Amino acid sequence: MMLRVLQGMAGLLLLMQASMASAVLTIEIIGAGEHQIPVSIVPFGGDEKIAQSINEVVTGDLQRSGLFRLVDPTGKSPHVPAEVNFPDWEVRGAEALAIGTVAAQNGRIEARFRLLDVVKQTELIAQAVSASEIQVRAIGHRIADMIYEKLTGDKGVFSTRIAYVNRQEKKFSLIVADSDGHNEQTVLAQNDPIMSPAWSPDGSQLAYVSFETGHAVVYVQSLYSNQRRVLANFRGSNSAPVWSSDGKQMALVLTRDGSSQIYLARPDGSDIRRITFSGAIDTEPHFSPDGEYLLFTSDRGGSPQIYRMPVKGGPTERLTFGDGSNFSPRHSPDGKNFVFAHLNNGRFYIAMQDLQTGQMTLLTEGGWEKKPSFAPNGKLILFASEGRGRGILATVSSDGRVKQHMFTQSGDAREPVWGPYP
Binding to other proteins (CB under 8 A): which residues in 390-419? Answer: 414-415
Shortest Cβ 74–other proteins spacing (Å): 46
- The whole-angstrom separation of Cα 220 and Cα 231 is 6
**According to the binding rule CB under 8 A, does residue 324 interact with other proteins?**
no
Tell me how many residues contact other proteins (CB under 8 A). 36
Shortest Cβ 98–other proteins spacing (Å): 41
**According to the binding rule CB under 8 A, does residue 368 interact with other proteins?**
yes
**According to the binding rule CB under 8 A, does residue 190 interact with other proteins?**
no
Shortest Cβ 260–other proteins spacing (Å): 3
**According to the binding rule CB under 8 A, does residue 166 interact with other proteins?**
no
Shortest Cβ 211–other proteins spacing (Å): 7
Q: Which of 299, 316, 335, 400 binds other proteins (CB under 8 A)?
A: 299
**According to the binding rule CB under 8 A, does residue 371 interact with other proteins?**
yes
Selected range binding other proteins among 45-53, 139-147, 211-219, 315-323, rule: CB under 8 A: 211-219
Taking alpha carbons only, the member of 348, 291, 294 closest to residue 319 is 294
DSSP strand pairing (194-199 vs 205-210): antiparallel
Shortest Cβ 227–other proteins spacing (Å): 25
Binding map of other proteins across residues 93-122, x = CB under 8 A, - = no contact = ------------------------------
Q: Which of 50, 281, 291, 401 binds other proteins (CB under 8 A)?
A: 281
- The whole-angstrom separation of Cα 293 and Cα 289 is 9
**According to the binding rule CB under 8 A, does residue 215 interact with other proteins?**
yes
196 versus 221: smaller Cβ distance to other proteins: 196
Shortest Cβ 335–other proteins spacing (Å): 22
99 versus 252: smaller Cβ distance to other proteins: 252
Q: Which of 100, 304, 378, 387 binds other proteins (CB under 8 A)?
A: 304
Shortest Cβ 253–other proteins spacing (Å): 7
Beta carbons of 352 and 378 less than 8 angstroms apart: no
Q: Rounded to a whole number, what is the distance in angstroms from the first to the last CA of the chain? A: 34
Shortest Cβ 346–other proteins spacing (Å): 7
**According to the binding rule CB under 8 A, does residue 75 interact with other proteins?**
no
**According to the binding rule CB under 8 A, does residue 353 interact with other proteins?**
no
Taking alpha carbons only, the member of 189, 142, 188, 140 closest to residue 169 is 189
- The whole-angstrom separation of Cα 386 and Cα 298 is 26
174 versus 216: smaller Cβ distance to other proteins: 216
Binding map of other proteins across residues 228-257, x = CB under 8 A, - = no contact = -------xxx-xx------------x-x--
Q: Which of 38, 46, 193, 400 binds other proteins (CB under 8 A)?
A: 193
**According to the binding rule CB under 8 A, does residue 46 interact with other proteins?**
no
75 versus 214: smaller Cβ distance to other proteins: 214
**According to the binding rule CB under 8 A, does residue 11 interact with other proteins?**
no
Shortest Cβ 398–other proteins spacing (Å): 21
Beta carbons of 156 and 378 less than 8 angstroms apart: no
Shortest Cβ 187–other proteins spacing (Å): 18
- Write a three-state SS string for the chain: CHHHHHHHCCCCCCEEEEECCCCCEEEEEECCCCCCEEEEECCCECHHHCCCCHHHHHHHHHHHHCCEEECCCCCCCCCCHHHCCHHHHHHCCCCEEEEEEEEEECCEEEEEEEEEECCCCEEEEEEEEEEEHHHHHHHHHHHHHHHHHHHHCCCCCCCCEEEEEEEECCEEEEEEEECCCCCCEEEEEECCCEEEEEECCCCCEEEEEECCCCCCEEEEEECCCCCEEEEECCCCCEEEEEECCCCCCEEEEECCCCCCEEEEECCCCCCCEECCCCCCCEEEEEECCCCCEEEEEECCCCCCEEEEEECCCCCCEECCCCCCEEEEEEECCCCCEEEEEEEECCEEEEEEEECCCCCEEECCCCEECEEEEECCCCCEEEEEEEECCEEEEEEEECCCCCEEEEEECCCEEEEEEECCCC
Site residues, other proteins (CB under 8 A): 193, 195-196, 209, 211, 214-216, 235-237, 239-240, 253, 255, 258-260, 281, 283-284, 297, 299, 303-304, 325, 327-328, 341, 343, 346, 368, 370-371, 414-415
